[in-house]
A and B are shown apart, each in its own frame.
Chain A
Amino acid sequence: MSMLKLIAKNSFRHTLRVILTIIGISIAVLAFGLLRTVVTAWSAGVAASSPNRLVTRQAISFIFTLPYAYKDKIATIPGIDQVSYFNWFGGTYIDKNQFFARVACDPETLFKVYPEYQLSPNEKTKFLSERNACIVGIETAKRYNLKIGDIMNIDGDIYPGKWQFVVRGIYTPRTKSDDATQMFFHWNYLNERMKTDYPNRSDEIGWYVVKIKDAGASATISQKIDNLFKNSRAETKSETEGQFQQGFVASSGAIIGAINIMSYLIIGIILLVLCNTMIMTARERTREYAVLKTLGFTGKHLFTFIAGEALIISCIGALIGLSLLIPIVQGFESFLPKGWFPVFNIENSTYIMAGSSALLVGIIASIVPIYRALNTRIVDGLRFNG
């Protein structure tokens, strides 16, 4: 027999109670993991940001447009590698519940500022050469069963009218934090139509994405860009892509905050459940601890027994909870409106937080039982009758 075996044997003494405790903890870990996954998914855009990319948008709100003419002016600033531009197209595809980004872009520079969107050379050539060609991310292609050559019919809202695009490429993301759901088409195609249908809305772009050579110069270059257009009809706000994305996250800050608070409350609940079990368990073993003390076991040993037991229970509970997390997260994602979160992964940070919470909870739950065990005199303990 070893100390570990002794602790393990003791842990499962009251099988029903221990199993209930483990189930309780695993459920709470599951809930915690789910909430954290939602929070991290919300900030996924920030995580996928590159420090070498700046976003320049209309100073008041990105929903207002900027002149196409700004492009060349921005390009004159030293330290800039590429200037690309995008228009949020939106529109209704199939029905109003299909959430994936539909964006007009400049295909020449798209892949230069977003090298993480990978396309085969063949598909790239086709995409560049056809006026109404479009590419979709692999997730969207899977979801709607889209293949090269398929037609996408979109009912425009911001840009009214019926639009048709031909899928000429399916891009794959470089890492799993990158958005694999977007749809891109030619800005020129959009602009041509605006010139005829709504001329006063032509030659406008939604936002510029600027690739800079040195990430450390982001603040200076942002400032320089904004200075170019200060006091003009359309003032700009330039910031790193991370800051831009963070702005979105912050706007839903209250809800995210509420979810965060909930996840911490859950840890609190786990703690209470385990504390309860440990206190009850330790109480029943009062006499036994006294006997161990008579045999010569010291406070250090008792600490190991109690904390060891608590940690075994909390860790098994955490492992079970985390292993159930994967199917539950998938199930949750399937209930949400399609594409609500483009990136919905269980981040490593979630696993780490859940694991360390389990450890922490195991230790804290041992405090009262250990305190009691150490401070009960042997003679009182021997008299204890449950």
Chain B
Amino acid sequence: MVYDLTDNKMNIPLYYIWKNFLARKLTTGITIAGIALVVFVFAAVLMMADGIQQTLSSTGSNDNVVITRKSSSGEITSIIDRATADLISTMPMIQKDEKGKPLLTSDAVTIINAPKKDGGGLSNLAVRGVSENALKIRNKITIISGRMFTFGARELIVGKAIEERFSNIAIGNTIKFAGDNWVIVGIMDAEKSAFESELWCDANQLIQAFNRVDYSTLTFRISDNANIEQLKALFAGDKRLNQYEPENERKYFEKQSEAMRLFIQILGITITVIFSVGAMIGAMITMYAAVANRTTEIGTLRALGFQRMSILIAFLVESLITAFIGGFIGIGLASILQFYSISTLNFGSFSELSFSFALTSNVIQGALTFTGIMGFIGGFLPAVKASRMSILSALR
């Protein structure tokens, strides 16, 4: 070991740090494992919250407006009668398609039961009856196999997430509800939005089958020269329409998940705060022990000419390296979660919602910052202690 002492102001004995790592493999290994675990949980919670956020904010477009009944808690509880639907469909703010028809879909939304693949019993699925222009309005949706259903027939297209989670979902199979058999004719991809957890069919067929009369919601593409504020004012001012309210489609779906997202965020933050304190303490314990065990070496290094600051930085660097190794392992483990998706009951719509763990750059940044802070705070006090040792007492 040759130390370059010509510029001994800030020489940091890196080789020394590395050797010490190897010497205490077990305890260092345990500390790294602890930090990896903490970072994993931290990242996983962030990824879950981001995943929900992604699913629901990708559901719905900024170009679309949803009309629901005021004070309805979700599409299921909203009711729009036909007369009102006809009235709204004549409004000028609605963009028209190439045939001059309004780009508007009158949806009837309901729930059915279906058996899950994993033997988890029955679960609720959303069925959405739509109008002919539905795919033009919700243009993130593509049919990836089979075909779109025929209006007037009891046919369905099924979201990709449902095909993965529920049994007997395949083109050609039938699902029984409302006393009739509905044939699956296509599978749709909806860019991981909430629509991927839905079954779509003809709204009028749905209404008939369930002995209903009314629609649930209306969704249309707003024309370029109109804005949502105008629309809201219009509805509020009209006696026939003031029981209904328009909302930006994306914002509407985001709000549906607000409660769940909020819950996960609160839980996540609470756990993270608690964890981070714990991890720092774990790191501190290891570093203090490291310092205590190396008093002689510290004294020797100082006697050889290394400055106090160099010692401090050396131990701090060691702590940070330990932390970051753990941090990267934790992030690596968390990234595996991306291959899993979770489905749960969305309280807003009372039906299954699938979302995946999203490893966004936010999550990685957050996890790395978290790791750095843990390593720094955990290593700081012990590093200070190491640097403040007097040479004589250290060598004794």
Do A and B share a direct contact in the complex (Cβ within 8 angstroms)?
A: yes
Binary CB contact string for chain B from 218 to 243 against chain A (1 if under 8 A, 0 otherwise)? 00000000000000000000000001
Q: How far is the CA of A280 from the CA of B294 in the complex (A)?
A: 13
Residues of B within 8 A of A262 (CB): 41, 44-45, 271
A-B contact pairs, 7 of them (CB 8 A): A21-B285, A34-B271, A59-B113, A251-B124, A251-B352, A255-B344, A276-B30
Residues of B within 8 A of A60 (CB): 111-113, 124, 177
Binary CB contact string for chain B from 332 to 360 against chain A (1 if under 8 A, 0 otherwise)? 00000000001111000010100000000
Q: How far is the CA of A280 from the CA of B292 in the complex (A)?
A: 11
Q: Does A31 contact B (CB under 8 A)?
A: yes
Q: Given A160-B69, A276-B285, 20 more contacts at CB 8 Å?
A: A20-B288, A24-B278, A27-B274, A28-B278, A31-B274, A31-B275, A38-B267, A61-B112, A61-B113, A90-B77, A157-B72, A251-B123, A251-B124, A254-B342, A273-B281, A280-B286, A332-B270, A335-B266, A337-B263, A340-B259
Instruction: Identify whether the interface residues of B are mostly helix, strand, loop, or mixed.
Output: helix
Residues of A within 8 A of B30 (CB): 272, 275-276, 279
Q: Which B residue's beta carbon lies closest to that of A155? A: B71
Binary CB contact string for chain B from 60 to 87 against chain A (1 if under 8 A, 0 otherwise)? 0000000001011100110100000000
Residues of A within 8 A of B111 (CB): 60-61, 63-64
Residues of A within 8 A of B279 (CB): 269
Q: How far is the CA of A157 from the CA of B78 in the complex (A)?
A: 7
Q: How far is the CA of A268 from the CA of B38 in the complex (A)?
A: 10
Within 8 A of A (CB), among B8-33: 26-27, 30-31, 33
Q: How far is the CA of A321 from the CA of B191 in the complex (A)?
A: 44
Contact of A251 among B34, B266, B284, B344 (CB under 8 A): B344
Residues of B within 8 A of A251 (CB): 123-124, 344-345, 352
Is there an interface contact between A254 and B288, defined as CB atoms closer than 8 Å? no
Is there an interface contact between A160 and B71, defined as CB atoms closer than 8 Å? yes
Q: How far is the CA of A160 from the CA of B113 in the complex (A)?
A: 27
Nearest Cβ on chain B to A143's Cβ, whole angstroms = 18
Q: How far is the CA of A233 from the CA of B77 in the complex (A)?
A: 21
Q: Which A residue's beta carbon lies closest to that of B30? A: A276
Is there an interface contact between B266 and A273, defined as CB atoms closer than 8 Å? no
Q: Are A63 and B350 also in contact (CB < 8 A) when A24-B282, A251-B124 are?
A: yes
Instruction: Identify whether the interface residues of A are mostly helix, strand, loop, or mixed.
Output: helix
Nearest Cβ on chain A to B253's Cβ, whole angstroms = 15
> Which residues of B pack against A, CB within 8 Å?
26-27, 30-31, 33-34, 37-38, 40-41, 44-45, 48, 69, 71-73, 76-77, 79, 111-113, 120-121, 123-124, 177, 179, 211, 213, 243, 259, 262-264, 266-267, 270-271, 274-275, 277-279, 281-282, 284-286, 288-289, 293, 342-345, 350, 352
Q: Does A107 contact B (CB under 8 A)?
A: no
Nearest Cβ on chain A to B369's Cβ, whole angstroms = 20
Q: Which B residue's beta carbon lies closest to that of A335? A: B266
Residues of A within 8 A of B38 (CB): 269
Q: How far is the CA of A265 from the CA of B38 in the complex (A)?
A: 9
Is there an interface contact between A90 and B73, defined as CB atoms closer than 8 Å? yes
Is there an interface contact between A276 and B121, defined as CB atoms closer than 8 Å? no
Residues of A within 8 A of B344 (CB): 251-255
Is there an interface contact between A337 and B259, defined as CB atoms closer than 8 Å? yes
Is there an interface contact between A200 and B281, defined as CB atoms closer than 8 Å? no
Residues of A within 8 A of B277 (CB): 27
Q: Are A272 and B243 also in contact (CB < 8 A) when A254-B344, A386-B293 are?
A: no
**Count of inter-chain pairs, beta carbons less than 8 A:** 148
Q: Does A277 contact B (CB under 8 A)?
A: yes
Residues of B within 8 A of A255 (CB): 264, 342, 344
Q: Does A158 contact B (CB under 8 A)?
A: yes
Q: Rank and list the top 7 A-B pairs by shortest CB-CB distance, nearest first.
A: A251-B345, A254-B342, A24-B281, A27-B278, A272-B34, A31-B274, A61-B111
Q: Does A141 contact B (CB under 8 A)?
A: no
Q: Does A250 contact B (CB under 8 A)?
A: yes
Q: How far is the CA of A156 from the CA of B177 in the complex (A)?
A: 29
Q: How far is the CA of A90 from the CA of B71 in the complex (A)?
A: 10
Candidate in B279, B285, B343, B352 with the most chain A CB atoms within 10 angstroms: B285
Q: How far is the CA of A278 from the CA of B264 in the complex (A)?
A: 35
Is there an interface contact between A276 and B282, defined as CB atoms closer than 8 Å? yes
Q: Are A16 and B288 also in contact (CB < 8 A) when A160-B69, A386-B293 are?
A: yes
> Which residues of A pack against B, CB within 8 Å?
16-17, 20-21, 23-24, 27-28, 30-31, 34-35, 38, 59-61, 63-64, 90-92, 96, 155-158, 160, 200, 233, 247-248, 250-255, 258-259, 262, 265-266, 268-269, 272-273, 275-277, 279-280, 284, 332, 335-337, 340, 368, 386
Residues of A within 8 A of B278 (CB): 24, 27-28, 31, 269, 273
Q: How far is the CA of A28 from the CA of B271 in the complex (A)?
A: 10
Candidate in A17, A254, A284 with the most chain B CB atoms within 10 angstroms: A254
Q: Are A250 and B270 also in contact (CB < 8 A) when A17-B288, A61-B350, A337-B262 are?
A: no
Contact of A273 among B73, B179, B264, B285 (CB under 8 A): B285
Residues of A within 8 A of B76 (CB): 63
Is there an interface contact between A265 and B37, defined as CB atoms closer than 8 Å? yes
Residues of B within 8 A of A277 (CB): 285
Q: Which B residue's beta carbon lies closest to that of A62? A: B350
Q: How far is the CA of A255 from the CA of B259 in the complex (A)?
A: 14
Nearest Cβ on chain A to B284's Cβ, whole angstroms = 6
Q: Are A280 and B71 also in contact (CB < 8 A) when A27-B278, A275-B30, A337-B262 are?
A: no
Q: Are A250 and B289 also in contact (CB < 8 A) when A96-B73, A276-B30 are?
A: no
Nearest Cβ on chain A to B24's Cβ, whole angstroms = 9
Residues of A within 8 A of B77 (CB): 90, 157-158
Residues of B within 8 A of A386 (CB): 293
Is there an interface contact between A272 and B282, defined as CB atoms closer than 8 Å? yes
Is there an interface contact between A336 and B266, defined as CB atoms closer than 8 Å? yes
Is there an interface contact between B34 and A340, defined as CB atoms closer than 8 Å? no
Nearest Cβ on chain A to B74's Cβ, whole angstroms = 9
Residues of B within 8 A of A273 (CB): 34, 278, 281-282, 285
Is there an interface contact between A157 and B263, defined as CB atoms closer than 8 Å? no
Nearest Cβ on chain B to A257's Cβ, whole angstroms = 8
Q: How far is the CA of A276 from the CA of B37 in the complex (A)?
A: 15
Nearest Cβ on chain A to B318's Cβ, whole angstroms = 16
Q: How far is the CA of A90 from the CA of B62 in the complex (A)?
A: 30
Q: Which A residue's beta carbon lies closest to that of B255? A: A96
Is there an interface contact between B266 and A269, defined as CB atoms closer than 8 Å? no
Q: How far is the CA of A200 from the CA of B69 in the complex (A)?
A: 19
Nearest Cβ on chain A to B125's Cβ, whole angstroms = 10
Candidate in A248, A259, A266 with the most chain B CB atoms within 10 angstroms: A266
Q: Are A276 and B72 also in contact (CB < 8 A) when A160-B79, A250-B121, A254-B344 are?
A: no
Is there an interface contact between B284 and A34, defined as CB atoms closer than 8 Å? no
Q: How far is the CA of A28 from the CA of B41 in the complex (A)?
A: 13
Q: How far is the CA of A92 from the CA of B71 in the complex (A)?
A: 7
Nearest Cβ on chain B to A278's Cβ, whole angstroms = 10
Candidate in A20, A38, A259, A279 with the most chain B CB atoms within 10 angstroms: A20
Is there an interface contact between B124 and A276, defined as CB atoms closer than 8 Å? no
Contact of A268 among B37, B123, B179, B281 (CB under 8 A): B37
